[in-house]
């Protein structure tokens, strides 16, 4: 079987799996199967149901390992809308690494975006509180623990309202809308293999 590598823009409220383990419940939840009909590809890492953005799927187990194994430290970039407006001092714990759930995170890159990023509206929209301003951060991680970004922003007092992954290693969301997927180009595959040293 030839290698397949897909980029998918995961919408909000979609599970990062092809079947719903809780499918016996009365609530039907959307999965990757509702969008992608390519057999034998699997997500590289996860995005929570309430997160959006870039997901790479592949049938190449070596590439999947290189991108998900924390020791290889491949960057993942997130745009994060938070309640209130953090200062540089507020963001410093993210840059130094902080303890959440009994482990210390690796130092992250964190910066306040000067303007709201151009993103498709979320469906449903986030719940705003009229008296509470919001801000957008760009956070770059080299590890990917369960709900890590949300736990990190909560730990510094700025709860996450919306979370969108915009890049994985050399790959970006450019050209995709929520729910769309495409095969990687030969150029993208070459660049990714170079970064992953495979």
Q: Which residues contact 112 (CB under 8 A, 6 or more apart)?
A: 85, 86, 88, 91, 135, 136, 137
Catalytic annotation, pick one of 20, 34, 48, 90: 48
Cβ–Cβ < 8 Å for 68, 196: no
CA distance 70 to 56: 16
Cβ–Cβ < 8 Å for 7, 13: no
Q: Which residues contact 62 (CB under 8 A, 6 or more apart)?
A: 198
Instruction: Report phi then psi at 89, rounded to 5.
Output: -65, -35
In the annotation, is 48 catalytic? yes
Residues annotated as part of the active site: 48
């Amino acid at each position: 079987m030839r290698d397949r590598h897909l980029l998918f823009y995961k919408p909000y409220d979609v599970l990062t799996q092809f079947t719903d383990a809780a499918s016996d419940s009365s609530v039907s939840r959307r999965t990757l199967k509702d969008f992608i009909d390519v057999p034998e590809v699997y997500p590289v890492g996860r995005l929570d149901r309430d997160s959006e953005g870039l997901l790479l799927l592949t049938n190449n187990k070596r590439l999947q390992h290189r991108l998900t194994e924390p020791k290889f430290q491949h960057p993942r970039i997130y745009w994060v809308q938070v309640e209130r407006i953090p200062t540089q001092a507020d963001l410093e714990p993210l840059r130094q690494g902080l303890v959440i759930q009994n482990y210390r995170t690796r130092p992250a890159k964190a910066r306040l975006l000067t303007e709201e990023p151009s993103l498709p509206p979320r469906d449903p929209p986030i719940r705003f509180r009229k008296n509470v301003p919001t801000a957008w951060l760009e956070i770059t991680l080299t590890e990917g623990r369960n709900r890590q970004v949300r736990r990190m922003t909560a730990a510094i007092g700025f709860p996450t309202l919306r979370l969108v992954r915009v890049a994985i290693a050399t790959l970006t969301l450019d050209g995709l809308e929520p729910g769309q997927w495409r095969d990687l180009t030969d150029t993208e595959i070459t660049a990714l293999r170079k970064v992953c040293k495979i």
